Homo-oligomer: A and B are copies of this chain.
């Protein structure tokens, strides 16, 4: 660390020095024999993070948002129906994206702080045939954690052909995700959250069922840059050690991603241990908040993310009372994002090396700052 500033927003997160160093790799050709296996190994390692044997990864230069376009443009044909489980800001976005590419979208809106209930999902799936169902695993705007396993089970039972699409931007590598065992069709994410890499990489894994749906679609793909018709041969080639070209991959960022994936999949005692560290750190932050009398945005602790904490300001306090006081202590947290409650809450991220590298003491720093900020805000208000 060059600056004595602790970045604990729910992404981008603190990035390990080795990963930053890899991002400064000397410039390399994207088709060189040195680089090809690096991208190939990233494809294999991201499968390990999600416990999948044969899902097809797509690693494309772009923000996490590009994953929505990939789903909308490759898996849903114009006029087909999509069901969006909306647990916050990012549900709105995914619905908007699907409509842009011609899907007919129905939404089930959860109340703020809640996930959509199983009975509502079941009812909707029985009433209408959907090509895809989408949900946000952890909605970064609220910290609500949806029960991915239960949602996937419900879909398979009630509407077996509906593709289960999980927006896992704020959950991959901070929540335990079993893509094959839970039978998820798409897991999409980005590099800058639990995966501990600078932003700029859209990461999406598609089940073989999803790939088949893509391959047998009857109308042309509706995106060019996000088209799997362009990227599938490229990803397969790189995994097989052969260079291929559609658009230039973000070479340096792939080196950085490779380093972070290596740390996540190999350097820790196990990846399960990494998830345990996230759960423990999360509990510590949440317990400290409870002791201070702060209320979480998620209504049910079971539906509360392990990589972030969303907390309402105490009655009578707002962003101006809290955020600058965190900043004065060198701790960067995030304000609200969900439009209905934007000015009423703030968010703390605790993902990646902040929880996995205990020598950093980041979780202690977060809790200390939280206690001091609440005390100072209250004392200066009296």
Contacts and interface: CB of A to CB of B under 8 A. Distances in A.
A334 interface: yes
Interface string A320-351: 00000000000010100100000000000000
B224 A222 contact: no
Nearest to A199: B248
A136 interface: no
Contacts of A250: 63, 198-200, 250, 253
Contacts of A96: 224
A92 to B, nearest CB: 12
A221 interface: yes
Interface in A49-66: 61-66
Contact of A251 (B31, B72, B198): B198
A63 B21 CA distance: 22
A4 to B, nearest CB: 10
B26 A227 contact: no
Nearest to A334: B29
A253 B253 contact: yes
Given A97-B224, A198-B251, A199-B61, A13 B27 contact: yes
B12 A30 contact: yes
Nearest to A89: B245
Interface string A68-110: 1100100000000000000000000000110011000000000
B225 A68 contact: yes
Interface in A10-37: 11-15, 20-21, 23-32
A344 B286 CA distance: 65
A361 to B, nearest CB: 17
Copies in the complex: 2
Interface residues of A, number: 61
Given A20-B24, A23-B24, A26-B20, A11 B225 contact: no
Contacts of A195: none
Contacts of A163: none
Contacts of A332: 29, 32
Interface of A: 1-3, 5, 7, 9, 11-15, 20-21, 23-32, 61-66, 68-69, 72, 96-97, 100-101, 190, 192, 198-200, 220-227, 245-253, 332, 334, 337
7 contacts: A12-B27, A14-B27, A31-B334, A69-B224, A101-B222, A200-B253, A222-B222
Given A15-B27, A192-B251, A245-B337, 20 more contacts: A9-B29, A12-B27, A13-B27, A15-B26, A29-B332, A29-B334, A31-B334, A61-B61, A61-B200, A63-B250, A72-B224, A100-B220, A100-B227, A190-B248, A192-B248, A198-B251, A198-B252, A199-B250, A223-B223, A225-B226
